[in-house]
Chain A
Amino acid sequence: GDSVTQTEGLVTVTEGLPVKLNCTYQTTYLTIAFFWYVQYLNEAPQVLLRSSTDNKRTEHQGFHATLHKSSSSFHLQKSSAQLSDSALYYCALNNRIFFGDGTQLVVKP
């Protein structure tokens, strides 16, 4: 069946340094779309990025991700982490929207 894997439950990074959150998937669907959602403390999840195009970089709010079907991945990256980026991040696969377990990002001063 379909699955989404976020390998890190917690990522801690120092402000100003790059950050990468990993997301891989397994699916039998031929056409797919991927999403990153962000959930700030005591708030609802909200969409951050989305993509359905292989090997095309998508950017929003300083974050970027590229869907790589060859490696079944859609990693989230930012070149310079900010304190305000501290949040819970989910990647999600389309259709009935399969979510990974989430990665808590903590940005330290």
Chain B
Amino acid sequence: EAAVTQSPRNKVAVTGGKVTLSCNQTNNHNNMYWYRQDTGHGLRLIHYSYGAGSTEKGDIPDGYKASRPSQENFSLILELATPSQTSVYFCASGDANWGWDTLYFGAGTRLSVL
């Protein structure tokens, strides 16, 4: 069974609207991440978290906010969605037992902003 679950799987939003992407993990990992995937750019880090109540900016945080209310849940929020935010978004939890985070990804959310 999936240990990292994203919802919704597909979303169509209007420009200027608010979008919330949700992620839930049952791995009990402290670290969680949000990436977006675009052709030619690979996976780019938007926000990450070290635990409940913590959020940190990644490499491309502009236009995005994050919220980590609990160990299990990590949300990505687009307050004013723009067409440039059309992408596939992946959430991941990080297993740091090896010393560095090994990432376990959710199935992704395909977002279209019209």
State the A residues within 8 Å of B (CB).
6, 9, 33, 35, 37, 43-47, 50, 52, 90, 94-102
Q: How many chain B residues touch A (Cβ–Cβ < 8 Å)?
A: 25
Chain B nearest CB: distance from A37 CB in Å?
Answer: 7
**Inter-chain contact A44/B107, CB cutoff 8 Å:** yes
Indicate which residue in B35, B42, B58, B105 contacts A46 across the interface (CB closer than 8 Å): B105
**Inter-chain contact B42/A90, CB cutoff 8 Å:** yes
Chain A nearest CB: distance from B88 CB in Å?
Answer: 10
Listed by A's residue number, 28 A-B pairs whose Cβ atoms lie within 8 Å are: A33-B99, A33-B100, A35-B103, A37-B103, A44-B90, A45-B90, A45-B103, A45-B105, A46-B104, A47-B102, A50-B100, A50-B102, A52-B99, A52-B100, A94-B101, A96-B45, A96-B48, A96-B59, A97-B45, A97-B101, A97-B103, A98-B45, A99-B42, A99-B43, A99-B44, A100-B42, A101-B41, A101-B42
* CB 8 Å contact bits of B51-63 with A (1 = contact, 0 = none): 0000000110000
| Top-7 shortest CB links A-B | A44-B105, A101-B42, A33-B100, A94-B100, A99-B43, A102-B42, A99-B42
CA distance in complex: A43, B37 (Å): 12
CA distance in complex: A97, B101 (Å): 8
CA distance in complex: A99, B106 (Å): 17
* CB 8 Å contact bits of B77-112 with A (1 = contact, 0 = none): 000000000000010001000111111111110000
CA distance in complex: A85, B101 (Å): 25
